Amino acid sequence: MPAAVIDLELSDAIPDIHGLDRYTSAYVVLRLDAVPVGHCWAPVRGGQLDREALVKGISDALPPLSRRWVERQLAPEHRARGADTLPSATVAICTRDRTDDLARALPAALAAAGGRPLLVVDNCPSSDATRDLIARWPQVRYVRENRPGLNAARNLAIREADTDVIAFTDDDAVPEPSWLEALLGGFGHPMVAAVTGLTLPYELETPAQEWFQRYTPFGRGYFRHEFDPLHCSPHSAGQIGAGANMALRRDVLALAGGFDEALDAGTPTRSGGDHEMFTRILERGYRIVYEPAAVSRHRHRRSWEELRDTVHGYGIGVYAMWTGRILGGDISVLKQAFRWAVRLQAPALARALLRRPGAPPLDLVTAELSGCALGPWALWQSRRRTRAAA
């Protein structure tokens, strides 16, 4: 059975939530003054959200809720900046042959942009469907990148934009109205080169979508965090956020270099381009802010086959990225890979094999591990293709 995705404002009285007859559970996003501060799962009985279970779920989240309240009240530097003090920005969506998703994303992205430029980069399309769709929105600028690869499209977006910041959202993501301003508010310090946001599920209508949210969610929690290279490893990029919800300074990108076009979707490496960029930014001495007030909703893949393929691709991308780092002389990646295997992958595999309660399905774990094994080979293939296309 599908799970309902519900937003609950905690500053108001908690209502009785009805009309959930087709659901057996709910993913409840807890908000304080509209800002997400936590979430909980609650069962649905007789078409109604179980109020007792909901209250318990909220109670279990009280410590982080208290911390969030204190941060909002006592840390004025984290409050939203006035619109006149925000850097200029372009919103960019990189897409390929997904017009249904893009048609859903565009109205939300335009609302979040608030009159700022919106750029759609059509990456190696198989038809003119995306260009024809964009023609319905004259305020949206369309450009085409014929070289395949998400990072090639991202680099074109950077070259085409003439603003201080480029904010990236995906074609299968729906940003909330305050998304862009929350991202831009994170650039208060000149050494902040990138800001990422909180990505929540758009829907949880299938088991595949629910397991994506449980096994490999895009969100990185509900607390603002500043990643400073003086106090964290550049290899902590996996904790920073995801490329579906990020903004980067255009001038710092010039100093750190563009996105590695041998990585990410549309290439044999399948993913890893965003985290590799985050690593390079931290290596150059810049900071990255994770701002959970910058909320976007991601429509996870609906079928189990798509989920397995996605998780497999994530495994390929991580190890392809790490292989590239090692070939560049950064052998400290080996320590990071060992920690990931010992602390995360091995326990997940053991729980799946033993069928522990709450353990991930075994085929998801093996899909990720098989992808990791292919990462170095995928990087070699992708670099060869990139050189041939140059």
The C-alpha atoms of residue 232 and residue 286 are separated, in whole angstroms, by 12
Integer Cα distance of 180 and 106 in angstroms? 14
Q: The CATH number of the domain where 194 resides is what?
A: 3.90.550.10
Same domain, 55 and 21: yes
Q: Given this model, what pLDDT does residue 234 score?
A: 87
* pLDDT for the residue 185: 95
- Whether 76 shows a pLDDT value over 60: the answer reads no
Contact present, 93 and 119 (Cβ < 8 Å): yes
**Please, is 231 exposed, middle or buried when counting C-beta atoms within 10 Å of its C-beta (0-12, 13-18, 19+)?**
exposed
Give the β-pairing of 118-123 and 89-95: parallel
Percent of the chain with pLDDT over 90: 79
Mean pLDDT of the chain: 93
- 188 and 255 fall within a common domain: yes
Residue 343's pLDDT band (boundaries 50, 70, 90)?
A: very high
pLDDT of residue 81: 58
> Using CA atoms, how far apart are residues 143 and 94, in angstroms rounded to an integer?
10
Q: Is the pLDDT of residue 142 over 60?
A: yes
The mean pLDDT of 297-317, rounded to a whole number, is 97
Give the per-residue pLDDT at 279: 95
Whole-angstrom distance, CA of residue 272 vs CA of residue 260 = 9
Q: At what angle do helices 304-327 and 207-215 cross, to 10 degrees?
A: 30
Number of domains in the chain: 3
Tell me the C-alpha distance between 109 and 158, whole Å. 18
User: Which residue among 255, 272, 302 closes a domain?
Assistant: 302
Residue 128 Cα distances to 69, 106, 109, 267, angstroms: 49, 17, 21, 21
Same domain, 252 and 118: yes
82 pLDDT above the threshold of 70: no
Kindly state whether residues 314 and 249 are assigned to the same domain. Answer: no
* Domain end among 237, 271, 302: 302
Q: Is the pLDDT of residue 22 over 70?
A: yes
pLDDT of residue 223: 87
Tell me which residue range forms the domain holding 256: 81-302
Final residue belonging to a domain, choices 302, 334, 362: 302
Residue 351 vs residue 74, higher pLDDT: 351
Reading the block at residue 13, the tokens are: 């009285």
Check if the beta carbon of residue 164 is closer than 8 Å to that of residue 256. Answer: no
Are residues 146 and 161 both part of a single domain? yes
Question: Are residues 163 and 142 in contact, defined by beta-carbon separation less than 8 angstroms?
Answer: no
Q: What is the mean pLDDT of residues 221-245?
A: 90
**pLDDT, average across residues 206-234:** 92
| Reported confidence tier of residue 71, pLDDT bands at 50, 70, 90 | low
Could you tell me if 115 and 123 are in contact, meaning their C-beta atoms sit under 8 angstroms apart? no
Q: Is 156:143 a contact under the CB 8 Å cutoff?
A: yes
* 165 and 133, same domain (yes or no): yes
Judge if 275 and 309 occupy the same domain. no
Q: Quick one: 252 and 147 in the same domain?
A: yes
Q: Do 289 and 178 belong to one domain?
A: yes
What is the band of 80 on the pLDDT scale with cuts at 50, 70, 90?
low
Same domain, 153 and 195: yes
Q: Which of 305, 310, 320 is nearest to 372 (CA)?
A: 320
Query: In whole angstroms, what is the distance from residue 121 CA to residue 106 CA?
Result: 13
Q: Are 377 and 316 members of one domain?
A: yes
Phi-psi region of 203 (alpha: psi -120 to 50; beta: other; left: phi over 0): beta
Is 315 found in the same domain as 294?
no
Strand-pair partners of 185: none
What are the pLDDT digits (tens) for 367-386?
999 999 999 999 999 999 99
